[in-house]
Structure 1
Amino acid sequence: MAGLREMTMGPLDPEMQAILDRRNALGLPGFSAGTPDDARRAFAQSQAALPPARGAQNVTVHDASVPGPHGTVPVRHYRPEQGNGGRILYMHGGGWVFGTLDGFDPVCRQLAHESGAEVVSIDYRLAPEHPFPQPLDDCWAVLEALGEGMPLAVMGDSAGGNLAAALALRARYRGGPPIALQVLLYPVLSADFTRDSYTAFGQGDYLISREDMRWFWDQHVPPEMRHMPEAAPLAASDFAGLPEAIIVVGGCDPLHDEGACYAAALRDAGVKVTLRDHPGMAHGFFTLVDLLSAANAEVRELGALIASRLALP
């Protein structure tokens, strides 16, 4: 891993740095500095400071719900003008503690437009009020309800990437529903905070810190459960038979190395993997549609890759 660190370490992309500077100018506390409600307010404030009406506007959007074991799970459907018959279940980030359908609306709009697939954004329950495995159970209920009958990808960013990877594991254990592709965007995969990327980028200058990640894990998963693969997918003893994976990581992200390690573990088990490593990008870059040129470029390129993988026979 040291060689990988040497390859990807480097200064932040100037556009990425400018976005972080603008966020820092809001004077928001670190996520781990207060209560879950404080973290949710900070997220809402940062979202309110962004320009409205971002993402592709030529998609049809409607809200619905799916019954789940802990109650109704709200979802939002994004249908592109020219669909290809595929579907993406999208799980947003936010450390399992915050995140809303509205907050991730721009990236879901753009993803539907670029991929040609219907995107279904899942408003899963949040910790600490609803700790592990309740968020995963919500996502599983949506997968069971909507996963049949068309080529399907599970996709998520950060904590949502954790849920997407866990869905793929659970579907393998339980024999379906079938998943053609897992797309993991700088995913949370392990509660190991000693990796090189944590040392290099975990001090709080790159959106999230090591202390933030410790705090997120404390809200969601008790220490005695962190050995479970559905909580920490890197803890799995066997990765064979999992769906093809596309893993996106940022070169200036504390979570960089666990994403790269997961790609290596899948590849060693015979799973087809594409690792897309972006030097100069910090955590969260993919969702900054219409704010960061690298975000729009990656959504466009990733959308094309997803379309090719979900192509109907």
Structure 2
Amino acid sequence: MPLDPEAQRIIDRTPAEDPNASGPLDVVAMREGFQQMWKMPDPLPEVGSVVNTTIPGPGGDLPVRIYTPEGEGPFPAFVWFHGGGWTIGGLDENEFSCRAVCAAADTIVMSVDYRLAPENPFPAAADDAYAAVAWVAEHGAEIGADPAPSPGGVGGRPPTGKLPRIATGGESAGGNLAAVAALKARDLGGPEIALQVLVSPVLGHPDDGRASYSEFSEGYFLSKSSMDWFFVTYPTGPDDLDNPYLLPLRSKDLTGVAPALILGAEYDVLRDEGEEYGARLAEAGVRTEVVRCDGLIHAFFGPLATELSAAEKARDRAAAALRAAFGTDGR
């Protein structure tokens, strides 16, 4: 499908990378440039409440932003991780999408401000992601969530015939962390996760040879060179690249992982690895839905949510999948 005209306008206004630039990129400049490029949308979707607080994390207090829907709880919980190559970004650029999903899925959304590299390299972000999910399982009542399984059944999972009420989700590096949290939950004895919503997730390496990295290496908002830099910044060394908690596609066994909804942009270097991960999950017997969002570019779900009309369909799909996974379609 042709590039969405709204996506083309975003690309046209995005500063081109300097092919003659030399030396390492500066993380402070990258963060400042990202903040200057993005503005908080107005108006924002209405929800019951938005609260900034902290929860205990492996490296100290972990900032989180909790979105609660209108109405009477307790509610299921959707733990969300922002993108930014594990290096840049924060809670604000996901404000619109977190509110929209909170209202549409009738779920609490806990957006997590995990530790960033290079100050906190791998596995800091992965550890924070799993800790946040585990905290919700143990302390959900403190934020109005009821993560305990409720009667029901989706696709034969879980075997007890009850539905867990925790889901993970994220975009780009946040999608990576949502997938990693689901892997860790399987490997470390829980908590049981109802669904992982992976939006343009980072699951493999830029040099793995996937076609989307060649087709969209530059000129489509997220470049291969940016991804190369993130992979210099986040891992501590080459050995980390073999760790499935950094790159889930390195996992030799995906059986028993939570069901997944994978949403990918057509014009994105990360497109093929998301679709490959979906195929791997399905081969392992995991209920998986993979959706290619035609005409769209990277960051369509969060930072560019209000500028890409077609992204609304993706948010609606995520909300519907969450309702089905939580068993709250008729709530």
CA contact 1:88–1:154 (8 Å) conserved in 2: yes
Q: Does 1:298 align with 2:298?
A: no
Question: Counterpart in 2 of 1:246?
Answer: 261
Which has a greater percent of helix? 1
Q: Does 1:144 align with 2:134?
A: yes
Question: Counterpart in 2 of 1:282?
Answer: 297
The alpha carbon displacement at 1:183 in A equals 0.6
Residue by residue over 1:44-77, the C-alpha shift from the partner in whole angstroms, topping out at 9 and shown as x without a partner, is: 0111xx3533431233100111111211100000
Residue by residue over 1:204-258, the C-alpha shift from the partner in whole angstroms, topping out at 9 and shown as x without a partner, is: 2111111111110110012221100001000000000001000001111000000
Letter in 2 for 1:173: D
Letter in 2 for 1:122: V
Q: Does 1:62 align with 2:78?
A: no
CA contact 1:157–1:284 (8 Å) conserved in 2: yes
CA contact 1:55–1:107 (8 Å) conserved in 2: no
> Cα distance 1:29–1:43, how it changes in 2: closer, same or farther (>3 A)?
farther
CA contact 2:115–2:124 (8 Å) conserved in 1: yes
CA contact 1:63–1:75 (8 Å) conserved in 2: yes
Question: Counterpart in 2 of 1:23?
Answer: 14
Residue by residue over 1:76-131, the C-alpha shift from the partner in whole angstroms, topping out at 9 and shown as x without a partner, is: 00011146721100000000001111222111111111111100000000001000
Letter in 2 for 1:147: A
- Residues 25-104 of structure 1 mapped to structure 2, 5 A cutoff: 34-47=25-38, 50=39, 52-82=41-71, 85-104=75-94
Aligned counterpart for 2:3 among listed residues 4, 12, 22: 12
| Gaps in structure 1 of 5+ consecutive residues | 1-9
- Residues 194-213 of structure 1 mapped to structure 2, 5 A cutoff: 194-202=209-217, 204-213=218-227
The alpha carbon displacement at 1:192 in A equals 4.0
* CA distance in 2: counterparts of 1:29 and 1:274, whole angstroms: 38
Residue by residue over 1:169-206, the C-alpha shift from the partner in whole angstroms, topping out at 9 and shown as x without a partner, is: 1111111011111110000001143210000001x211
Letter in 2 for 1:278: C
TM-score (norm 2): 0.86
Aligned counterpart for 2:112 among listed residues 122, 147, 152: 122
TM-score (norm 1): 0.90
Name which structure has the greater RCO, CA cutoff 8 Å, separation 6+: 1
Residue by residue over 1:121-165, the C-alpha shift from the partner in whole angstroms, topping out at 9 and shown as x without a partner, is: 000000010001101111222111112442011000000000010
Q: How many residues align?
A: 299
Calculate percent identity across the aligned residue pairs.
38
Question: Counterpart in 2 of 1:4?
Answer: none
Q: Which runs of 4+ in 1 moved over 4 A?
A: 27-33
* CA distance in 1: counterparts of 2:308 and 2:18, whole angstroms: 23
SS of structure 2 residue aligned to 1:147:
helix
- Bigger drift between 187-196 and 231-240 goes to 187-196
- Residues 114-193 of structure 1 mapped to structure 2, 5 A cutoff: 114-148=104-138, 149-150=146-147, 151-193=165-207
* CA distance in 1: counterparts of 2:315 and 2:8, whole angstroms: 20
CA contact 1:91–1:121 (8 Å) conserved in 2: yes
* CA distance in 1: counterparts of 2:82 and 2:44, whole angstroms: 16
